[in-house]
Amino acid sequence: MTSRMNFFLLFIAISCILTAACTAPQTPRETSPVTAPTTESSPIPTTEPPTPSDTVPEPSDTAPQAAQFTRDDVYELFMDIAFGCDNTGVTMFSPSSENHLFFSLEGQVNSADIDVVSLFTREFNRITPIEVFTDEPLNSRGSPIIFYPEDSLDSLEKRFVACQELDPETGKPLYIIYNTVTELPNGERETTTKIYLNANLAGVEREHYLLRAMLYYVGFPGQTYNYPDSVFYYNTQSTTAFTPVDIEAMKTLYHPGIYEGMSIQEVRWLFFND
């Protein structure tokens, strides 16, 4: 009996404890606020957006741009290339419907040489106001450009060499302007010009000197010391592409004030005193 009573009292005590726990006021448990993830929560530090001054690089940091030049730059280059070698007056070819400038390729010519002449013909006719060429250099009796064997170049009479360029390493001629003078029965003297190129030239050097020969015949015998990228630069053997200032200088040959035989002083007066 006593044991039953003790069990009953223990049951009553446990029930009272559980009831008190359920009815006692509860304080809310503190929790950390939960926020939605954003890109700013990345642990990788970010930088502020660049200011306008940051987005515009300095000129020295930009890619190379087309060279800028003035009208006076063009005129100065024209005077450099229109005079030189043996030329003291402007040389102009005056075409007409029956008068075209022909190039005659002779000697050790290859197919690439013919392509160079044809390309130059098209380019020059496109930038000048008149057509001055035909492009059949092997069938022409026009202005001769002769690819001559290297050993034979030394046999040319030195008194007829108006100007030449030599290989800086071997001293062999690369390019020769050759003016023979013949006395006619009436006492007048006739000058015949031929341009000899070293037949050993190859690749871009061969193309460069072939261009120089054609440019001589159209009125540009000179060179420039001011534009290293120019086909006319004095110290190049491999440039084959005309720069923008080259093209503008060549166009100047057809300026309305330019005429055959004009001296450099007259050209300067025309350009800088008009």
Backbone angles phi, psi at 163, to 5 degrees: -165, 160
The pLDDT value given to residue 99: 65
Q: Cα–Cα distance between 256 and 129 in angstroms, integer?
A: 11
128 near 250, Cβ under 8 Å?
Answer: yes
> Is the pLDDT reported for residue 257 higher than 50?
yes
For the chain, the first-to-last Cα distance in angstroms comes to 142
The pLDDT value given to residue 173: 95
The pLDDT value given to residue 142: 82
Q: Name the most confidently modeled range: 9-23, 180-194, 229-243.
A: 229-243
Lowest average pLDDT, out of 29-33, 70-74, 102-106, goes to: 29-33
The pLDDT value given to residue 72: 95
> Is the pLDDT reported for residue 136 higher than 80?
no
Position 135 confidence tier, pLDDT thresholds 50, 70, 90: low
The pLDDT value given to residue 229: 95
Position 97 confidence tier, pLDDT thresholds 50, 70, 90: low
Lookup result for tokens 């072939």: 210
The pLDDT value given to residue 259: 93
State the maximum Cα–Cα separation within the chain, in Å, rounded to a whole number: 170
What's the whole-number average pLDDT of the chain? 79
The pLDDT value given to residue 20: 44
* Region 131-136 average pLDDT: 73
> Is the pLDDT reported for residue 198 higher than 60?
yes
> Is the pLDDT reported for residue 45 higher than 70?
no
The pLDDT value given to residue 74: 96
Q: How many CA atoms lie within 13 A of 139 on its CB side?
A: 3
> Is the pLDDT reported for residue 5 higher than 70?
no
Backbone angles phi, psi at 17, to 5 degrees: -65, -45
> Is the pLDDT reported for residue 274 higher than 80?
no
Q: What is the pTM of this model?
A: 0.73
Task: Please write down the long-range contacts of 65-68, taking CB distance under 8 Å and 24 or more positions apart.
Answer: 66/244, 67/229, 67/243, 67/244, 67/245
Backbone angles phi, psi at 107, to 5 degrees: 85, -140
> Is the pLDDT reported for residue 165 higher than 90?
yes
Lookup result for tokens 């120019």: 230
Q: Name the most confidently modeled range: 59-73, 82-96, 235-249.
A: 235-249
DSSP 8-state secondary structure symbol assigned to residue 133: B
The pLDDT value given to residue 100: 75
